[in-house]
Amino acid sequence: MSSHIEEFYSCLPAPIDLKECKKLIQDFCCRNTETDCKIVLVTSGGTTVPLEHNTVRFVDNFSAGTRGSASAEYFLENGYSVIFLYRLKSLEPYVRHFTGQAFLDMLETNKSGKEKCIVVLLRYQSVKETGRLLCIPFTSLADYLWLLRAVSESLADLGPRALLYLAAAVSDFYIPANEMPTHKMQSEAGPPTISLQLVPKVLEPLVNTWLPHAFVVSFKLETDESLLISKARGALTKYKHKLVIANILQTRKNKVVMVTTDSHYEIVVTQEETNSAVEIEAKIVADLKQKHDHFITVSHCR
């Protein structure tokens, strides 16, 4: 499998700023390793798959980045340092509260809007001053995979103190570079025939080779509830990571299922909690913090 992954990466164009991103990631990890804190990588948003080298058209995995950006905030509130690997122009921690018309509404002179702005601003300033948040953007599938590998390399020395929260919507398909046209496809040539190939699952080398001692969490989204637990547990059996957060498309904002190799249980936000602005990500992160702390303790006892 490792040789297959290496071959796959050798055909992926690396981001033009990969060297600069690696330096930012390494410096961030070094600073936060010195403080003996926990670091979480939160991936968020969708990836694009270009149809041409000089990209005009692409296939996109849509994701607004809601879960990832909210979760990043709650990890910060729970004492983690956060590397936020996100789709460019998707939602970001703290900024997510002020998008679109909601931001303009807060510019009115009313008490509730002013209070919310101040609370979010103070939280953001605290995180910025302590240097506990690093945001790294990506656009394409290739960008994401190269940056994921770069972060994994920098987190390796943290051992069990590293947590990976893989919430990005990553494409399952791609077009190999040698099968992609250089320039924009022309409609005069008629309907194009596009052959998509399967993207190798990098979760396997990530868990077993890049970060064998980290606490790795993946996500599973389904539309058929009868398949949810079996598909999540199948992923755990195949990739050997610690936990899958499983959810159904229609109810993902108020219910998830936390699946381990030998148990599963629901985390739910009630309507009353929703009315009180409680987000399910706050409960998810609180639960993961307990699990991660226990994992660290057990790892140190071995």
Task: Find the Cα–Cα–Cα–Cα dihedral 23, 27, 28, 34, rounded to 10°.
Answer: 160
Q: Is residue 25's pLDDT more than 70?
A: yes
Contact indicator for 76, 132 with CB cutoff of 8 Å: yes
Distance of CA 107 to the CA centre of its chain: 31
- Binning pLDDT at 50, 70 and 90, where does residue 135 land? very high
On whether residue 299 sits in a domain, the answer given is no
Q: What is the pLDDT of residue 228?
A: 96
Q: What is the pLDDT of residue 224?
A: 93
What span, in angstroms and rounded, lies between the C-alpha atoms of 108 and 70? 25
On whether residue 297 sits in a domain, the answer given is no
Compute CA distances 108 → 112, 113, 122, 258, whole Å: 10, 7, 20, 41
Average pLDDT across the chain, whole number:
91
Smallest CA-to-CA distance from 259 within 240, 245, 247 is with 245
On whether residue 189 sits in a domain, the answer given is yes
Share of the chain above pLDDT 90, in %: 71
Which residues does 128 contact at the CB level (< 8 Å), separation at least 6?
none
Question: How many Cβ atoms from other residues are within 10 Å of residue 299's Cβ?
Answer: 13
CATH number of domain containing 47: 3.40.50.10300
On whether residue 27 sits in a domain, the answer given is yes
DSSP string, 46-82: B-EEESSSS-S-EEE-----HHHHHHHHHHHHTT-EE
Instruction: Supply the pTM of this predicted model.
Output: 0.91
Q: How many domains does the chain have?
A: 1
On whether residue 261 sits in a domain, the answer given is no
Smallest CA-to-CA distance from 93 within 286, 299, 281 is with 281
Contact indicator for 158, 214 with CB cutoff of 8 Å: yes
Q: What is the pLDDT of residue 62?
A: 79
Domain residues for the domain of 53 are 2-229
Q: What is the pLDDT of residue 176?
A: 86
pLDDT tens string 54-80: 888 888 987 999 999 999 999 999 999
Any alpha helices (H) in the chain, and if so which ranges?
2-10, 18-34, 66-77, 100-106, 111-130, 141-155, 203-205, 225-239, 271-275, 280-301
Least confident of 16-30, 121-135, 142-156: 121-135
On whether residue 82 sits in a domain, the answer given is yes
Q: Is residue 160's pLDDT more than 70?
A: yes
pLDDT tens string 228-258: 999 999 999 999 999 999 999 999 999 999 9
On whether residue 10 sits in a domain, the answer given is yes
DSSP state of 261: S
DSSP string, 270-294: -HHHHHTT--HHHHHHHHHHHHHHH
Smallest CA-to-CA distance from 47 within 136, 166, 168, 202 is with 168
On whether residue 280 sits in a domain, the answer given is no
